[in-house]
């Protein structure tokens, strides 16, 4: 793109380093059409640039430039129906493989998976393989049988266990055996109930006419933690992790992937001017017959209080909760923090 500058000095708060003024100045963020060649093909996208309020110079910082490149690459992927980096990572983690293990499993170079998850565009043949893996555990089994000798004994056992659990109609049993543990404060004093988690997801998606994944994860967290605050026990038995966009259920990509393969929900990657997000809709009707009246009351209360917030707003709100401030990256968030919940 034109008018892009790179700096070695760190941008300071309150403005950006203007290359013409050679100092930090107040700027205005603009959106303008740009063309970026991706694998030799020009891609038109909405680039973000700063305009110096003092001299009028337009420029992009390294961070802004990176966002612009990512935006153009996302548009290219959408046009050519390519699997996104986040989906590649979700497929890999579903089967319990590291990036190196996944590369060997597929018969690719060990660095290839890392490059794809970091944002590099995969070639058509590799994309076709990834689509097959995304669509069915049976396809994973076929590739596993071809390349099983590329894996260590321990890796083979783990992948085989995951494949077995995700095929033959044993998905719910697999979840219970793999994820559930004894009920503790980390699970809201409940054992994980995959059916309740599934129907809570379906209820939220159905009643809110679809939501972005970030918002869905926060609503699940607020439902479980608010119920614990009021009644001393959670709803689903789900454990939640502290991640950059706020609290999320452990293994949330696995739950969503299972529901997608069962055709109960559908996800769509939606690209904005400055970011992209995965939007989910319900394809099946929820069944709340196993929920108590108090649990249903909690769910409706959370939807009433927070359902109108967008993904960015509810994520920002969760960052202000004591539960988030009191834990660190990747830590499990104990339900004991529910007492200080803001709702």
Residue 210 domain-assigned (yes or no): yes
- Domain end marker among 135, 168, 201: 168
Same domain, 59 and 149: no
Residue 178 domain-assigned (yes or no): yes
Tell me: pLDDT of 2 over 60.
no
- Bridge partners, residue 281, by sequence: 266
Tell me: pLDDT of 118 over 60.
yes
Same domain, 291 and 144: no
Mean pLDDT throughout 50-73?
Answer: 89
307 or 13, greater pLDDT: 307
Tell me: pLDDT of 169 over 70.
no
What is the average pLDDT value for the chain, to the nearest integer?
A: 86
Same domain, 164 and 233: no
Same domain, 138 and 161: yes
Tell me: pLDDT of 3 over 50.
no
Q: Is 272 left (phi over 0), alpha (psi -120 to 50) or beta?
A: beta
Residue 46 domain-assigned (yes or no): yes
17's enclosing H/E stretch is: strand 16-18
What DSSP assignment string belongs to 77-114? Answer: HHHTTPPPHHHHHHHHHHTT--HHHHHHHHTS-HHHHH
Q: What is the largest CA-CA distance in the chain?
A: 66
Q: For a pLDDT cut of 90, what percent of the chain falls above it?
A: 55
Residue 2 domain-assigned (yes or no): no
Give the CATH number for residue 57: 3.10.20
Q: For 279-307, what is each residue's pLDDT tens digit?
A: 999 999 999 999 999 999 999 999 999 99
Rg (CA), the chain: 22
Same domain, 215 and 333: yes
The token pair that represents 188 in the structure block: 């809201």
Same domain, 235 and 309: yes
Same domain, 20 and 63: yes
Same domain, 273 and 327: yes
Domain count, the chain: 3
Mean pLDDT throughout 129-157?
Answer: 90
Residue 4 domain-assigned (yes or no): no
Residue 1 domain-assigned (yes or no): no
Q: For 315-335, what is each residue's pLDDT tens digit?
A: 999 999 999 999 998 889 999
Angle between helical axes of 194-207 and 213-231 (0-180°, round to 10): 120
Mean pLDDT throughout 91-109?
Answer: 90
Same domain, 136 and 270: no
The reported pLDDT for the residue numbered 11 is 38
Q: For a pLDDT cut of 70, what percent of the chain falls above it?
A: 90
Residue 211 domain-assigned (yes or no): yes
Residue 315 domain-assigned (yes or no): yes
Distance CA(63)–CA(69), nearest Å, equals 10
Same domain, 51 and 134: no
- Bridge partners, residue 23, by sequence: 18
- CB 7, CB 16: distance < 8 Å: no
Same domain, 292 and 234: yes
The reported pLDDT for the residue numbered 164 is 79
Range of the domain at 313: 174-340
213's enclosing H/E stretch is: helix 213-231
Tell me the CA distances in angstroms from 186 to 158, 162, 197, 240, 291, one per residue in order. 25, 24, 16, 8, 21
- Domain end marker among 141, 168, 195: 168
Q: Where are the beta strands (DSSP E) in 210-324?
A: 211-212, 240-243, 246-249, 265-271, 276-282
pLDDT band at 257 (very low <50, low <70, confident <90, very high): confident
- Domain end marker among 38, 57, 79: 79
Same domain, 23 and 108: no
Predicted TM-score of the model (pTM): 0.60
């Amino acid at each position: 793109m034109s008018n892009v500058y790179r700096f070695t000095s760190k941008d300071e708060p309150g403005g950006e380093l203007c290359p013409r003024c050679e100092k930090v100045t107040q700027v205005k963020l603009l959106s303008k059409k740009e063309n970026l060649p991706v694998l030799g093909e020009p891609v038109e996208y909405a680039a973000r640039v700063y305009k110096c309020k003092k001299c009028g110079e337009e420029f992009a910082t390294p961070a802004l430039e990176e966002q612009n490149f990512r935006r153009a690459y996302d548009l290219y992927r959408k046009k050519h129906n390519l699997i996104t980096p986040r989906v590649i990572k979700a497929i890999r983690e579903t089967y319990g493989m590291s990036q190196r293990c996944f590369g060997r499993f597929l018969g690719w170079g060990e660095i290839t998976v890392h490059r794809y998850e970091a944002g590099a565009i995969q070639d058509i043949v590799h994309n076709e393989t990834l689509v097959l893996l995304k669509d069915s555990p049976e396809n994973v089994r076929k590739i596993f049988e071809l390349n099983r000798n590329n894996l260590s004994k321990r890796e083979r056992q783990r992948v085989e266990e995951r494949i077995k659990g995700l095929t033959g109609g044993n998905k719910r049993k697999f979840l219970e055996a793999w994820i559930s543990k004894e009920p503790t404060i980390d699970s809201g004093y409940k054992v994980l109930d995959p059916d309740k988690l599934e129907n809570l997801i379906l209820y939220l998606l159905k009643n809110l006419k679809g939501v972005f994944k970030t918002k869905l994860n926060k609503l699940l967290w607020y439902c479980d933690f608010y119920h614990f605050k009021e009644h001393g026990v959670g709803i689903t038995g789900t454990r939640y992790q502290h991640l950059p966009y706020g609290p999320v259920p452990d293994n949330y990509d696995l739950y969503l992937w299972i529901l997608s393969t069962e055709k109960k929900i559908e996800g769509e990657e939606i690209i904005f001017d400055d970011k992209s997000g995965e939007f989910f809709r319900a394809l099946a009707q929820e069944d709340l017959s196993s929920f108590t009246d108090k649990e249903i009351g909690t769910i409706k209360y959370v939807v009433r209080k927070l359902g109108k917030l967008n993904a960015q707003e509810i994520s920002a709100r969760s960052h202000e909760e004591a539960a988030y401030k009191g834990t660190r990256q990747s830590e499990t968030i104990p339900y004991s923090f529910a007492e200080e919940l803001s709702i």
